[in-house]
Structure 1
């Protein structure tokens, strides 16, 4: 079934797996294997909007004002509101930003790749672009003299040094550039997600926007080292405008010097959506194609004051559910306006890393394995090993002394991960029964059984 493009309160749906197009380029296919090995990404939405703790970009869209402008005491007209939002660049000064510290935290948490917002829909650029003055390095932004002013450059390099892959998030919509939300058209000042004009009726305006977008994408891909993934948001730019930004041509050219680079043209489908991207949800069944769920660690993608963060137990349960269905988890953390990562988020990331250091072999480089997930038991596979992960979402749940694992394939031996003990097991009822499991300790996040086949 084809999924319609729906964006509700800033949250997107995702492309139908049945319409997925496998790449013909062998280097892209090889990179897809790399992608499916990684399993865990740190996603970050960061920009001037973090100063107010509001949702990123959407408050600029008059069509989305009802839900996106709540909680802000700005008793002004819509136009004044938008002006004040756009002027947030003049006070954005993240003087406590330390890219190497971020990279250390990510590595300790078990992250394998970074998805960073180089530019969200509001058009503010977190790199030293030559094609816009609305950027972190502009003279009207106080951080332009900062040690790490070209944020993307320093951040990408710090993460690469830790062996963490780089995905550059880029919004195809730009609500700051004149060629997208242009003045003097029938829409007037009332704006929405799409361009302020009909591109087919104003081809020169649209051509200027396409040229601007192409220049920025190529700039990121040519000036900031190896980019493993270009992650494109705002699929409506083409779908609802009825026009193309010629992304395929741009990516083909970039792949001449970034061979195999993945392209996540999310919600658009076709040969340049190399993997699908459910947002704030997990598919009920394994899609059978490469995929990645982007889910917030807190309550929103952007930083929110006094936010509440998921516990390590919640995130690991989420990760296992996703990996068992063949996907990756991109867990989003919104940095503070001063450049630090929130303490609550850091605590969860630390707990995730502690668990993954013991049980990561059951997660990384694995593939989906039937029966995928039954009740609280999930399965992954790596070469001649099946991992059965017995999950405990409730920390007060009593530990059973015995467990029946619903796997009916051949099993040579079973090891309890963490302790390294060999388990005594028997084939029973089309599965494996393990007895005499220890129950004299606090309920873990999971018990993991390594089954040699």
Structure 2
């Protein structure tokens, strides 16, 4: 072997070692998001989720109706008709702000693979629709103007992409022509593009439950994102450990990401692991004509129970094919915002607990105050367990109306009768010490 060939061989060995070392550190460097960043996120408590894309033309569910309610060929060509001429990013962000929401998350790419931004890595994107305008960019700019944190949803799976091994929710057969390594490069390119162009506050992943995706891929991607933007927040759907719709108890040490994601259910009271429940304002995630909408009382109970469990709420709307949010949904969101203008003190910047939320009440706390969210407004009296070492000095509504309280073997409250059959209301319990240090009372 010549000296030149030896140098080439040594160089190859060095490069292989370097690649292996880089991969090892990227997969194992699980540097979690700074606590101050996470505290800021959890203080916000309430955000808007938006599920939207060409599928709104059919009124069926985004991603999941492909090859089910809508033929694959039809579904994959809907983008050629997608022209939401009444889309107004400023109006949508104002709707979120008026609802009391502090952040907004848009489905930049759902399971169907269609991209709402002009990505350089696939033609299956907004540029090739009749509309052509960058929807992700427009929402980002509107959020910046109105002081709302901008966040991006990105699906781990992509049934449309030839290199992702599964091409249908109904048929989980692995495509032998697919190439998961090439697909991972595609994902990283797109995510780098999204972070570079839009600098999102948070990334919301989904679709990691399918067999082709592994926890090792999730760890590698999490580390990659942290290299691109150290302060980026991600949910835990880069890995298999998540509460999901079953609201499972999870092992936080196995979680890949910064917070847990119960779906269509209020998460359990947890003072250690951050979490965010996502709910639809109607039944379907994407827009559906005449979809049944949640009542104001249902929405407020979800908000109170979520904050009472020490979590955030991401409430979803699905714009119509023309780009507008339905007027009835806007009205419901405004009603929530009106309630929060009066009662937001008991939601934003609070801790959950110390009592477990139930169907009658939930509690949040801040400083020396416990905020009692009365959910069952037909109650005339309410009894709470006493707090070891602390006493209730006084009780009152947020409008300063006095509430009669006695503390002996229990904390007994005489609730105001005029609140019967009204929306949830808040009773403030002012203590003679710090409410934030109270252990959870079971």
Computed over aligned residues only, the root mean square deviation of the Cα atoms, in angstroms, reads 2.6
Q: 1:51 to 1:419 in 2, by over 3 A?
A: same
Contact 2:66/2:168 (8 A) holds in 1: no
1:414 aligns with 2:388: no
Indicate the residue corresponding to 1:385 in structure 2: 369
Alignment of 1:286-301 (within 5 A): 286=270, 288-301=272-285
Alignment-derived partner of residue 75 in structure 1: none
Structure 2 unaligned regions, length at least 5: 1-28, 242-253, 432-442
The alpha-carbon deviation at position 407 of structure 1 amounts to 4.3
Tell me, yes or no, if structure 1 residue 430 matches structure 2 residue 410: yes
CA change 1:26–1:383 in 2 (3 A) is: farther
2:97 to 91, 107, 121: 107
- Normalization by structure 1: what TM-score? 0.79
Separation in structure 1 between the aligned mates of residue 171 and residue 147 of structure 2, nearest angstrom: 36
Distance 1:190 1:380 in 2: 43
Aligned pair 1:254/2:225, yes or no?
yes
CA contact (8 A) 1:55 1:302 kept: yes
Residues of 2 paired with 1:156 and 1:362: CA distance? Answer: 29
For 1:103-182, list aligned pairs within 5 A: 103-138=93-128, 141-144=129-132, 149-180=133-164
Determine the C-alpha separation between the residues in 2 that align with 1:91 and 1:157.
25
* Residue of 285, 293, 297 corresponding to 1:309: 293
Shift of the alpha carbon at 1:25?
Answer: 4.1
**Are 1:373 and 2:345 an aligned pair?**
no
- In the alignment, what sits opposite 2:10? none
Q: TM-score scaled to structure 2, two decimals? A: 0.81
Is the CA contact 1:308–1:344 (under 8 Å) kept in the aligned structure 2?
no
**What is the aligned partner in structure 1 of residue 15 from structure 2?**
none
CA distance in 2, matches of 1:338, 1:94: 4
**Residues in 2 aligned to 1:406 and 1:223: alpha-carbon distance in whole angstroms:** 52
Residues 130 and 422 from structure 1, CA distance in 2 versus in 1: closer, same or farther, beyond 3 angstroms? same
**The one of 231, 235, 244 aligned to 2:208:** 235
How many angstroms does 1:364 deviate by? 1.0
Superposition deviation, residue 405 in structure 1: 3.8
Q: Is the 8 A contact 1:372 1:380 kept in 2?
A: no
Q: CA 1:236/1:439 → structure 2, altered by over 3 Å: closer, same or farther?
A: closer
Can you list the C-alpha shifts for 1:226-270, whole angstroms capped at 9, x where unaligned?
A: x12111111134xx1265684434443433452321121315234
1:72-111 matched pairs, under 5 angstroms? 81-111=71-101
Quote the Cα distance in structure 1 between the aligned partners of 2:228 and 2:164: 29
Instruction: Quickly say closer, same or farther: Cα 1:179–1:248, change in 2 above 3 A.
Output: same
The number of aligned residues is: 389
After superposition, the Cα gap between the structure-2 partners of 1:166 and 1:194, relative to the gap in structure 1 and judged at 3 Å, is: farther
Question: 318, 329, 338: which is aligned to 1:334?
Answer: 318
2:262 partner SS: coil
Structure 2 CA distance for partners of 1:412 and 1:381, relative to 1, 3 Å? same
Considering Cα pairs closer than 8 Å and 6+ residues apart, tell me whether 1 or 2 has the greater RCO: 1
Separation of aligned partners in 2, 1:113 and 1:247:
24
Which of 345, 348, 354 pairs up with 1:364? Answer: 348
Please tell me whether the aligned partners of residues 41 and 329 of structure 1 are also in contact (alpha carbons under 8 angstroms).
yes
Q: Over alpha carbons, which structure has the higher Rg?
A: 2
Alpha-carbon distance in structure 1 between the residues aligned to 2:105 and 2:168: 32
**2-structure distance, mates of 1:221, 1:398:** 49
Q: Which runs of 5+ in 1 are unaligned?
A: 1-22, 73-80, 183-188
Whole-angstrom CA distance in 1 between matches of 2:31 and 2:39: 13
Taking structure 1 as reference, are residues 219 and 24 closer, same or farther at Cα in structure 2, changes over 3 Å only?
closer
Aligned match of 1:5: none
Which of 418, 422, 429 is residue 451 of structure 1 equivalent to? 429
Helix, strand or coil for the counterpart of 2:354? strand
Secondary structure, counterpart of 1:130 in structure 2: coil
